[in-house]
Amino acid sequence: MDTTGSVITVEALAKVNLTLEVLGKRPDGYHALRSVVMPVSLADTVTLSRTGGLVALSVSAGEGVNLTHLGPVERNLAVRAARLMQTRYRVGAGARIHIHKRIPIGGGLGGGSADAAAVIRGLNSLWGLGLPRGEMMELGAELGSDVPALAHGGAVLMEGRGEYVTGLFEGVAAEDCKGFWLVIANPGVMCPTGEVFKRWKPGLTPAPHFLHNMRSFVRGGQAEAAAGILFNGLQVGVFERYPEVAGAAARLRSAGCLGCLLSGSGASVFGLVRDEAHGQEVLCGLDGLWGVLVRTCPVV
């Protein structure tokens, strides 16, 4: 977070789900999940400046980002986060929010949720609220299922509908957690999260030791081993309904990824690669499909 006077700039990191188990449907209509959520080095830049009382939003687009996919301002999670904080804490001040978007919109990469988490962290500081991380995560849970994980930061295990979040590398120094490189590809279609969950059918879920193994493979930077245990319970339904997404995954595979997976509820897919040079090779093999080479960011 970068603070200069009454302006704060926060990097809002995208995420991928290295594992996403859907455990069943809950009485409230949401699905119970168990997911390893991993922030990556693709980020929106959120700039917040203090105003007299209004909350205003402007958005600019990075390469390949289609702003026509952005919903109405009133439904924007970043705006809703600011308004929620204003009313909850009776803040008289407002904020001008500018988001430079690099994360594809509606792509299963948590872009909107990351922006909301960045607004919560930034306004906590800009408005001098002094909220602890747990309270910021609780605010995030009122906005969307992915927000608490992104407000926590770093690699986390996400459970419930997203409201239970545990850091996977608490107390581990960044240099002791290697992580790996991956290529994210996006076919440009939208997969509405609610519809994707509706199509979910109970099936096999991985054994519990997958989680433990994924944690140790990330820490050791063992991309090849991690590629062998990637899992997303929503993938089959999304590939059936959206052939463009299945096509993007096939393209990643034929470009030489170690293993690839749907991220969240789609439409982005990602493939693990051995190192940066291998990632560049895979990118070149994508043949016009939008793609980006990123590093995992397991430790905040």
**Residues assigned a catalytic role:** 15, 146
Tell me the CA end-to-end span of the chain in Å, nearest whole number.
Answer: 12
Amino acid letter for position 233:
G
Binding residue for ligand C5P, selected from 110, 140, 144, 187, defined by CB under 6 A: 144
Residue carrying the six token digits 């439904």:
75
CA distance 100 to 60: 5
Residue 3 φ/ψ region, left for φ over 0, alpha for ψ in the -120 to 50 degree band, beta for the rest: beta
Binding residue for ligand C5P, selected from 161, 219, 251, 278, defined by CB under 6 A: 161
Question: Is residue 227 a contact point for ligand C5P (CB under 6 A)?
Answer: no
Q: Which of these ranges, 139-147, 212-220, 229-237, 273-281, lies near ligand C5P under the rule CB under 6 A?
A: 139-147
Nearer to ligand C5P, 266 or 291 (CB): 266
Nearer to ligand C5P, 152 or 251 (CB): 152
Angle at Cα 114 formed by Cα 231 and Cα 43, nearest 5°?
90
Question: Is residue 263 a contact point for ligand C5P (CB under 6 A)?
Answer: no
Nearer to ligand C5P, 157 or 227 (CB): 157
Q: Are 10 and 118 in contact (CB under 8 A)?
A: yes
Q: Nearest approach, Cβ of 33 to ligand C5P (angstroms)?
A: 5
Q: Are 253 and 273 in contact (CB under 8 A)?
A: no
Question: Is residue 33 a contact point for ligand C5P (CB under 6 A)?
Answer: yes
Fill in the per-residue mask, 40 to 79: x = in contact with ligand C5P (CB under 6 A), - = not in contact.
Answer: ----------------------------------------
Question: Is residue 34 a contact point for ligand C5P (CB under 6 A)?
Answer: no
Question: Is residue 164 a contact point for ligand C5P (CB under 6 A)?
Answer: no
The strand ranges marked E within 52-190 are 55-61, 94-101, 156-160, 164-167, 181-186
Q: Is 292 helix (H, G, I), strand (E, B) or coil?
A: strand
The CA distances from residue 220 to 108, 170, 192, 225, 244, in Å, are 26, 16, 35, 10, 33
Binding residue for ligand C5P, selected from 86, 124, 145, 186, defined by CB under 6 A: 145
Q: Which residues of the shown chain bind ligand C5P in the complex (CB under 6 A)? A: 30-31, 33, 144-146, 161-162, 193-194, 197
